[in-house]
Chain A
Amino acid sequence: MSACWVVLRKELLDAFRDRRMVIVALVVMPLAVPLILAGMSALGMKRQVEKLEGTLELPVIGIEHAPNLVAWLGANDVDVVPGPPDPDDAVRRQEREVILRIDASYGQDWRSGRPARLELIFDSSRPLQSGATIARTRALLDGYARQVGALRLITRGIHPSVSQPLQVGQRDVATPGSRFDLAQQMLPYLLLLLAFIGGMQLAIDATAGERERQSLEPLLATPASRGAIISGKILATAAFTLLSVLVTLVMYRIAFALVPVGRIDTSLAVPADALARLLLVILPIVLLGATLLTALAAFARSHREAQGYLPLLIFLPMLPTLYLMVSPVKTQPWMLAVPFLGQNQLILRILRRESIDALEWAISLGSGLALAALVWALAARLYHREQLAAST
C-alpha cells in the first residue's frame, strides 16, 4: 500500500512539472467546455429571439392575387417581398427558409366562398434552422383564416363558437431547470468524455512512456509489487482527471455567472450543491477511464501505439448520447447500470434539478465501480507479464 502511495505521489509530481499536460488538462479543457456550451446557448437564444420577435421577411409568389392577405401580413410584422422564380430550388439551397405561393385562382375562389389555395414551400429536414420560421408563418396564416372565417359566420348570423367545438388550454409543467436545449444535451457528453480520457497523457506517460525511456526495468527490480505500482499509476491518473473535471465544472459555473442573464439560457447553470453530486456521478467513469487507459498503455510498446486507441475511446462515451438523441426515453433502472448511459441520465437529471434516490445512486455507483475493479484486475494481470519490461 505504501509503495502505491509513493508511486502515486511521484506520478503526480512528474505530471505537474509537464507544462503542456497541465495547460491542456487544467486550462484549455476547463476553458473550452464552458465556452463551447455558453457560445452555443447564447447563439441559439439570439436566433430564437430574432425569429420570434423580429420582422419576418416572407417571400410571396403571386402577391397580386391576394392584396388583402398581403396587407394583413404587413400589419402583423411581416415584410412581404416578391418570391423567386424557382421557389423549390431557393428553399433547397437554403436561400429562403419558407416561401408562400398564392394560387392564381385565389381571388376567384375567395369571392365565390370556396377555400382559396395557398402553398407553403419549406424543407422539413432542417428543423433546427427553419422550424421556428415555418411554425410562425403557419400560425399567421391560421390566424388570418380563423379571423375571416369568424367574420363570415357573423355575417350569416351564426355565432363563431359554433365552429369551435373545442377550446384547448395549455399548461407547461416545465420548471426553469428542466428547460432543455441542444447545449444542455452536450454537457453530459463533454463531461463524460473529459472524465474518461482526460488522463490519457498521464496514463500513457506513466506506462508506455516509462517503457520507452527505459525506466521500467529498474522500477520492476525494486521490492514494490507490480500490483502496487500499477495501482499507484491508475490512482494518479484518476486524481489528475478528477481535478481537471472539477476545474472545468467550476469554470463552467463562473462562466454562466459572468454572462448577463437573458443573453443566454440560465437553465444551463450548475447550482453549487449540484457540483458535488456531478463529481460523484462521474467518479466511476474517471476510475474506469484511468484503469482502461493504463491497461491499454501498459500493453502498448510506445506513445504512438497507445495513442492509436484514442479514436475508439472517444467513441465510447458518445454512444449513449446518440442513443438518447434517437430515442429520448424515461430512465429505466437497468439503464443506470450501463456505463455512460447511466451517468448521462443522472447528469441530465441533476441539471434538471430532479432528485435521485438511494437505490439509483447504488445501482449507478455500484455497477460503475465494479466494472472499474474488473478492468483494474485485468490491468494488474497484464502488468505481471514477463515480456512487459524485457521487450528490448
Chain B
Amino acid sequence: MIEVQRLRKTFRARGSSIVAVDDVSFRAVDGEITGLLGPNGAGKTTTLRMLYTLMQPDGGRVLVDGLDPSTHAGDVRRRLGVLPDARGLYKRLTARENIAYFGRLHGLEPALVSQRIGRLVGALGMEDFIDRRSEGFSQGQRTKTAIARALVHDPRNVLLDEPSNGLDVMTTRALRQFLRGLRAEGRCVLFSSHIMQEVAALCDRIVVIAQGRVVAQGTPDELRVQTGQANLEDAFVKAIGSEEGLFA
C-alpha cells in the first residue's frame, strides 16, 4: 500500500528553479495495478524517486505500508521492489550474480537468495541466460534480470519506471503476464508509462499526471465518466489537455 500526499519537488538549475512535481496525491492499494500515466517530463520519474527514497520531497509526504521514508528509509526500502529507469547491470557478473548481489544487500542469507532466484528464473523465463555474464544481453534479458534483481527480497510493493521501454512485443506480453501474477499474489504494483495502451491494458487504477500535477484519476470506467468521453483515449487527451506524448 502506497500513499502519496501533496508531493512537491523543485530543482535548482543555473539560478532558476524548476518545479518537477507540483502537487501529486494518489493511493496505490494492495492487489491492484496502479498506472502513473503522463507525457515525458510530467514528473513521473521524480515522483517515483521520492517514493523509493532517492530524493527528499520539498513538500507533502509519502507513506509505504504506513511508514514515512524520511524517518524509516531502511524499512521502506525493504518493503519496496524498485525497477528504476536506470537499469544497468554489472557486465562482468552473470545474471545470477547480479541478482544475488542485491539479495545479499537486502540482508538475505545465501540459501534464501538462491531459492528466490530459482523461483524468479521460472516466473520470468530466464533459464537460458541466468548463468551467462550480462555483457551483450539483449534489452529483454537485461530488463528481466533487472526485474528479478528488484524482486529478490520478495517485496510487498513493486515500483516500475517505464518497464516496457525498449522491449519487443513478445517480451512485453510476458512482462504484463508477470505483473498480473504479482497482483494475484496480493502485491501493490505501481508503474509509470507514457504509453496509453500500456496502461489501459494492465491497470485497475490510473493516475494521469501532467506538468507535475494529477489531472485525473480513477478506474478506466471512472475516467470515462469524469471526462465525459466514451473512448479511453479521448478521455486521456481531455484530461491532459493535449495529445502530447501519449503515443509511443
Tell me the A residues contacting B by CB distance below 8 Å.
2-3, 6-7, 10, 13-14, 17-18, 210, 213-225, 386, 389-390, 392
* Residues of chain B with a CB closer than 8 A to A221's CB: 52-54, 77, 80, 82, 84
Q: How far is the CA of A14 from the CA of B82 in the complex (A)?
A: 23
Question: Which of A14, A217, A218 has its CB near the most chain B CB atoms (within 10 A)?
Answer: A218
When distances are taken between beta carbons in the complex, the residues of chain B under 8 Å from A386 are 54-56
Contact between A222 and B92, CB atoms less than 8 A apart: no
List residues of B (134-169) whose CB comes within 8 Å of A's CBs.
146, 149-150
**Separation of A52 and B101 alpha carbons in the complex (Å):** 65
Interface size class of B (residues with CB under 8 A): 20 to 34
The 4 A-B pairs of least Cβ separation, nearest first, read A214-B88, A214-B86, A215-B88, A213-B88
Q: Verify B101–A217 contact, CB threshold 8 A.
A: no
Which residues of chain A come closer than 8 Å to B101, judged between CB atoms? 6, 10
- Quote the shortest CB–CB distance from A130 to chain B (angstroms): 54
Query: Which residues of B line the A interface, CB within 8 A?
Result: 49, 52-56, 74, 77-78, 80, 82-93, 97, 101-102, 104-107, 133, 146, 149-150
Please give, as numbers and ranges, the residues of chain B lying within 8 Å of A210 by CB-CB distance. Answer: 88
Does B77 contact A218, Cβ atoms closer than 8 Å? no
A217-B84, A386-B55, A392-B85 given as contacts; is B102 within 8 A of A13 (CB)? no
A220 touches B91 (CB 8 A): no
Interfacial chain A residues near B82, Cβ < 8 Å: 218, 221
Least CB distance from B35 to A in Å reads 20
* Residues from chain A with Cβ under 8 Å of B93 in the complex: 10, 13-14, 17
Let me know if A218 and B150 touch, CB within 8 A: yes
Complex Cα spacing A6 to B104, Å? 7
Given A223-B74, A390-B49, A392-B86, 16 more contacts at CB 8 Å? A2-B107, A10-B93, A13-B97, A14-B92, A18-B92, A213-B89, A213-B91, A214-B88, A216-B88, A217-B54, A217-B84, A217-B85, A218-B146, A219-B102, A221-B52, A389-B54
A213–B93 Cα distance when bound, in Å, is 14
Rounded to whole Å, the gap between the CB of A213 and the closest CB of chain B is 4
Q: Which residues of A contact B52 (CB under 8 A)?
A: 221
A-B contact pairs, 25 of them (CB 8 A): A3-B105, A7-B105, A10-B93, A14-B92, A14-B93, A17-B92, A17-B93, A213-B89, A213-B91, A214-B86, A216-B88, A217-B85, A218-B84, A218-B88, A218-B149, A221-B52, A221-B53, A221-B77, A222-B77, A223-B74, A223-B77, A223-B78, A223-B107, A224-B105, A225-B74
